[in-house]
Amino acid sequence: MAQARMILVGGFLGVGKTTLLATAAGLLARRGVRVGLVTNDQAAGLVDSEALRSSPGRVDEVAGACFCCAFNRLMEVCETLIRQGSEVLIGEPVGSCTDLSATVLQPIKKYCSHQVRLAPYTVLVEPSRLAEALGLAPSDLGDDVRYIYRKQVEEADLVVLNKIDTISPAHREELAALLDRVFPDTPVLCLSARDEQQVEQWLSHVLEGSLAGERVVEVDYDVYARGEAALGWLNATVELSSRDPADWDDVGQALTRRLREGLAALGAEVAHLKLLLTTREGKSAANLTSSSTAPDFRGRAGRGRQATLLINARVQSDPQTLRTAVEQALAETVQPPLAARMLSLANFSPARPTPVHRFDAPA
């Protein structure tokens, strides 16, 4: 079996990992490179997996646990993609996961180097949360949640400041200087994951880089576990129907706004909220990365009588509060002649991480 190049892209919820994977997959496919994309979540029904299926390359997912806790499953997925012809694998771990260098990169280097050759480990950050995560600005996220964000950056081989198209050049320089000051030994790259030329520069860096998993950091697993448990998670698949042709884009936008307002009224800070509507005409997506920002809407699902809705919500609240808020927003949005039928729903707080392997130093 041929050896594949493997790029892991970490970072907190909502930093733009999936967008980067999609853009990179398109660029690699144009070069004639066969790509495999690996998504990851604590439960099935992942918006990212469905969204990436319209990108070039094969898509598989590790569902039910993070990469570190499902390491063997991760390597099985990688082996399958390689056997199917993938030459470059790009993996996206769960956004609330850290300690990837010790629990994923080092075991791959030690036990799986015949199968994959790791690229420098990229961790994405984005402007609105960065100063909060470093304790330099007020935040609605708790200290234990922000601890995860900081540890993610500490273990990176390369830090990428994403979403620079949303800020001024002066603010970009300010944030890049902040990263250089706080993490002086880690290279920093600034880009927009939607900009192909900038993503090409990132691809060149990681595909040509030879050092991966150069840092193993100390992680307090009690704080880490509390940070993950502070977030309620919900993945839902809903079948929508209408007696008359409905404008599903309007429905998705109305639902997103009601969710945002309802969660804000409860004081439940959004870490990440994603909705994906799929119809025969197309797909539309909604993306919200905090309670204080406006949602981003992309794509078009069009009009029709049927649609499938995926909801992924990661919110600083208990799971039951999150579920009640989602069910209430659905009930208020889906009024006759619309109807909704819940096909699946997973609602929980992540369990304490129990990695299969953990290295104390680089392998």
Q: What is the pLDDT of residues 307-319, one digit of tens each?
A: 999 999 999 999 9
Residue 272 is predicted with a pLDDT of: 97
pLDDT over 80 (residue 1):
no
- Indicate the pLDDT class of residue 2, thresholds 50, 70 and 90: confident
Report the C-alpha gap between 14 and 314 in whole angstroms.
Answer: 10
SS3 244: strand
CATH number of 231-348: 3.30.70
- Mean per-residue pLDDT, 280-309: 96
Residues of the chain with CATH 3.30.70: 231-348
Residues of the chain with CATH 3.40.50.300: 4-227
Superfamily of domain 4-227: P-loop containing nucleotide triphosphate hydrolases (3.40.50.300)
Residue 304 is predicted with a pLDDT of: 97
β-sheet bridge partners, residue 158: 122
Report the C-alpha gap between 146 and 12 in whole angstroms.
Answer: 9
Residue 166 is predicted with a pLDDT of: 95
Q: Which one, of 41, 25, 37, 9, lies nearest residue 272 by Cα?
A: 41
- Over residues 44-95, the pLDDT tens digits come to 999 999 999 989 999 999 999 999 999 999 999 999 999 999 999 999 999 9
Average pLDDT, the chain: 97
Residue 137 is predicted with a pLDDT of: 86
**pTM reported for the whole predicted model:** 0.96
